[in-house]
Amino acid sequence: MSAEAANPGAHSRRRGRPRIDLRRLGRAALLGAPGRDRLPDAIAHMAEAHRGHHPDADLATLREAYLLAESSHRGQFRKSGEPYITHPLAVTLILAELGAETTTLTASLLHDTVEDTDVTLDQVTRAFGDEVAYLVDGVTKLEKVEYGAAAESETFRKMLVATGNDVRVMSIKLADRLHNMRTLGVMRPEKQARIARVTRDVLIPLAERLGVQAIKTELEDLAFSILHPAEYETTRRLIAENVSAGAALDEIAERVRAVLRDAGIAAEVLIRPRHFVSVHRVSIKRGELRGTDFGRLLVLVGEDADCYGVLGELHTCFTPVISEFKDFIAAPKFNLYQSLHTAVAGPEGSVAEVLIRTHRMHRVAEAGVIALGDPHVFPESAESADGDRADGERADGERVDPTRPGWLSRLLAWQESTPDSDAFWTSLRADLAQDREITVFGADGRVLGLPAGASCVDAAYAQYGERAHACIGARVNGRLATLSTVLSDGDTVHLLFAGEAPDASRAPLSGKPAAPDAPGAPRTSEDRGAAPEDADGGPSPDWLEHARTPAARIAITSWLETHPHGTEAPATAPRRSAPVSTETDRPAVADAVVDLPDATVRLAGCCTPVPPDPVIGFAVRGGVVTVHREECSAVARMAGPHREPIAARWGEAPSCRVTLVAESFGRPRLLADLTEVIAVAGAAIVSATVEPPSEQRVRHTYTLALPDAAGLPALMRAMRQVPGVYDVSRSQHPAATG
């Protein structure tokens, strides 16, 4: 049973929305065509609602659309017994009440004609123009005979593509589903459940993303009543038992009105009862509900500045609950929603939630993109030389839609890469399950809209598509990060690719980014505006664990399927530490001199000092003096009341031995490139160790014999320039205190 049947007055009570009288409309439809100049009785209610939002609207087109729809649907009946024309009339009334413009209402009246009657799309085009025909075609279902079980998913794919060009397509579909859900009680229970599940998984998230809260909340309640009848009944009974709960909110609302009157702020203060699903969620969150939990206060003002004025007065005259404050005016939600949210303490410890917005914000909050009218508006730059604007198109033939949000662009991008209907349907539901969106910025300032919980992997594929296969890491807010790093709202992401070397000075140890124009400073792909086309490597299966967007998951899965053996095993990633040299004995070094006669001098392995480092020595067992760099962390541990440091200095021998640690992102042939750079510098590798990779990061440790210590800085710079290496440093591992 639908929510409407279970509680016929529930939704009209909450919304105050007049409901269509199906019997009256049915009788009006059966009377046939009215006189030539008279508006049909069946659309009088809808026309009145439309004129309420658009006083100058021309109703002649709506009259002609109704006549075509009524004549083509004549003789067809719904399962409930009403003439079929009552359905497009009800859908159109829903849109009219939300403020849709005439073109949308015209298409809404005709939305089932091409699908269910002999009317063709060409006839609609000739009679009402390309724009109406486009909207009608966008919501027309694909034939089940042709597509079989895939008809539903392919219809949604077609609808999404059409919505990408004109969001009014989805507006009509949402209103269509709302009326169908209202009258779902005549269907078999199993069919009710199937339709309700699709509504919950696909249509409700789409309504949320398009900002159409008026439709979204009612769809939530209707789906809730079908899919969770026991919880719905409990919630309905809870609301019925607390019909007087609004008294607590009435008292606070009156105090708010008085405060705003005294402050000279013109405002309308309303009480908005919570819908069923909202009450259910609050009861789960808070347990036993108080009177103020069954609704919220809505304060409507004229100007944006008045919103903050109201907020200041409330926080001054009431005790605010600071944790409940949110500013969606300065930072609107991704679905166009703007409002100030706060909460104030009421009598006896109750808490009243308050929403503060302008009348314009309220219209958009309720109707979303429907309230914005015709989406095809054009910037000044789109004007032609003679000052006239293109009729519906830009110079490049693309239609301009400023209401097209980032999430929709992502859907359109990845659906093209998903030919399989089942994979598309699964990915669509997964993407729509993400209930929050974040905004991150690329190095060139471009804005990326991503779902909450997205990682650098998602950012890479959102920005570069399949070229992101070569990505090896990122800098997030200037600091190096792995691709698994989860992004936060407002982060800046610089992606790094295998064919380039990130600046070592940006390593997390220092946290000091180098100047982008510094000599030798490499440039990331964002600096150049494109990812390298010829980079080696490819995505790891581990990336799938960090990918949240379907676009990333589809691209990674496709690459892994076409490369079943992956790339060649990276030379930088052996499964266990791998010594490159068998030399294990470290001989005494003669170029360090200490003030202790006949002592054996060794350079400390923890800091591997080389000329001209300032050094100091400490005596250890066996008459050996170890020489450390003065800045070595072991010096503080070894110095003490019973162990005096020994003065040390460098002799004349130019050769030295040093241990370097290279931090890098894993990629094929990295070890070969590093050893080649070392060889070119004339250094000999005494020993080397490569640790197992961790989250795409690899750590190399090299002990090198240099013919001249003066060449060490140049060698370290050359190693940092190897693609994939982001830091090279002197060894600083702990040393025994002897």
Catalytic (active-site) positions: 115-116
Helices (H), 667-728: 670-680, 712-720
Q: Please return the burial class of 579, using the count of CB atoms within 10 Å of its CB with bins 0-12, 13-18 and 19+.
A: exposed
With residue 316 as reference, give the H or E element that holds it. helix 304-317
Give 731's Cβ-side CA count (13 Å radius): 23
Q: Scanning the structure block, which residue is given the tokens 């105090």?
A: 255
Q: What is the DSSP string of 451-512?
A: ETT-BHHHHHHHHHGGGGGGEEEEEETTEEE-TTPBP-TT-EEEEEETTS---GGGSTTT--
Using alpha carbons, select from 619, 601, 713 the residue that is nearest to residue 658: 713
Structure token pair of residue 234:
């409990």
Contact between 630 and 616 (Cβ < 8 Å): yes
Q: Are strands 697-706 and 684-690 parallel, antiparallel or unpaired?
A: antiparallel
Phi, psi of 39 (to 5 degrees): -70, 130
* C-beta neighbour count of 196 within 10 angstroms: 21
Q: At 411, which helix (H) or strand (E)?
A: helix 406-415
Cβ pair 378, 392 in contact under 8 A? no
* Geometric angle at alpha carbon 542, from 541 and 543, rounded to 5°: 90
Token representation of residue 240: 């019925």
Measured distance CA(164)–CA(412) in Å, rounded: 7
Quick check: 703 and 659 in contact, CB under 8 A? yes
Burial class (CB in 10 A: 0-12, 13-18, 19+), 458: buried
Rounded Cα gap, residues 572 and 580, in angstroms: 13
**Quick count: other Cβ atoms within 10 Å of Cβ 44?**
13
- 8 Å CB contact between 147 and 157: no
Distances (CA, A) of 56 to 52, 60, 101: 10, 12, 11
User: What is the distance between the alpha carbons of residues 388 and 494, in angstroms, rounded to a whole number?
Assistant: 41
Identity of the amino acid at 573: A
CA triple 578-584-588, angle to 5 deg: 145
CA angle, 160 then 165 then 168, to 5°: 75
CB 405, CB 335: distance < 8 Å: yes
Contact 221, 236 (CB under 8 A): no
